[in-house]
Amino acid sequence: MDLYFFNPACELEVSNGDKNYSLQKYPQMLENDLRTLPLAFAKKDDYILTLKPTSGDRFISLQQAETMEFDNFFPWGSSQRVFNLIRNVRVKNRTEIADLKKFYSRQNTVDFLSAFPSGEKFPKKNELPFIAKTAEEAFLFFKEKFAHNYKGVVFKAPFAASGRGVRIFKKNELTDNILQWTDFVIKTQGFVECEVYFERLTDFSMHYTFSGGEISFRGLSVFKTADNGFYQSSYVKNFSEIPGVDFLMVYELSEMQKNVLINMVFRENFSGNLGIDCMVYDDNGEKKVHPCVEINCRNSMGRLALELSEKIDENSLAEFFVFQNDKPPFGIEEEPVFENGKLKSGFWRLSPEGTEKFSAGILAKNQKIL
């Protein structure tokens, strides 16, 4: 019997480092509103810890959890905050890692790409990300890439969550806002990751599980993001091919990624789910694959979509959405239709009713996907 908990701001919790860290308004609403999502990972005898009253036998309060014993505790992502939260809960296989920052830092993206085999299918060496430890280094990168006619530059904070901490610049203008943000991030988090902007065609993620120093491939999911990098939705399907790509097989990419991951910091003490965000992008009319836009050593919406793929009718197109209540996706009003225990059409709500700001669920149509 295992216990699950949804803490989508785990990167921010780790960056702060305080076991008593209090979430800010936005991540707190996200955690509360989507608190039921870990049910997608849970087995029949598992429970979901929620900090707000939630109807259903599988959802328990912290007070209830402290009267029970569990084999394992699976948060969305490990952090000092969640370890402290369950300090009085009996967990047989309790694993707490002191230095979590080394797993969550975007330094890992740079290290991964420097070890990944180069080739015509992937970004060139001079297109790989750069760690700027001073504002001057970041701005030099900015100027050089625009001078070489790249279409933009991306700055990323070392620790961020849900698409935040990312700045995309498509104009060769160093505004006061850019200067202030870059200086603030470097002073508070140590560096800024600087990247070339690529014209993305398709976002996808490769999903793995680490256990006992071994790594296994779970599958590929395809997702959508807004222009600012914020997550929008995922197709609920385990893809056997990289969409629109005929020069690289999924198995080939997974083997290349595993060969790099197994020699990185994750091999030391990391255990659990890990995902690598990737993209298919346009390089002057030629399709290429970016093998690592970001590494997420936690659960993700793409991994959740993979876990739910077996609950979708094989003849249906299904998409998992996270949305603001005042901006629902078209079709949410359709009642869900299940056949043989699988969703065939309509909207299947996965978040509680009456959420404050955010909701989540699967919208299915009776047609083949992609």
pLDDT at 346: 93
The one-letter code for the residue type at 44 is K
pLDDT at 348: 94
Distance CA 5, CA 105 (A): 22
SS3 of 298, please? coil
Domain chopping of the chain, boundaries: 2-99, 124-196, 199-305, 312-365
The one-letter code for the residue type at 5 is F
Domains 124-196 and 199-305 share a fold: no
Over residues 247-261, mean pLDDT: 95
Contact 237, 223 (CB under 8 A): no
Handedness of CA 320, 322, 327, 332 (dihedral sign): positive
Over residues 130-151, mean pLDDT: 92
pLDDT in tens, 154-182: 999 998 765 678 889 888 888 888 899 99
How far from each other are the two terminal CA atoms of the chain, in whole angstroms? 37
SS3 of 52, please? coil
Mean pLDDT of the chain: 91
Q: Which residues contact 99 (CB under 8 A, 6 or more apart)?
A: none
Per-residue 3-state assignment (H helix, E strand, C coil) for 95-162: CCCCCCHHHHCCHHHHHHHHHCCCCCCCCCHHHCCEEECCHHHHHHHHHHHHHCCCCCEEEECCCCCC
pLDDT at 93: 87
Beta bridge partners of 147: none
Distance CA 230, CA 179 (A): 22
Q: Which residue carries 């991540």 as its tokens?
A: 27
pLDDT at 234: 95
pLDDT in tens, 54-88: 999 999 999 999 999 999 999 999 999 999 999 99
Strands 2-5 and 47-49: parallel
> What class does CATH assign to 199-305?
alpha beta
pLDDT in tens, 292-337: 999 999 999 999 999 999 999 988 999 999 998 888 888 788 899 9
The CATH number of 124-196 is 3.30.1490.20
Distance CA 110, CA 306 (A): 27
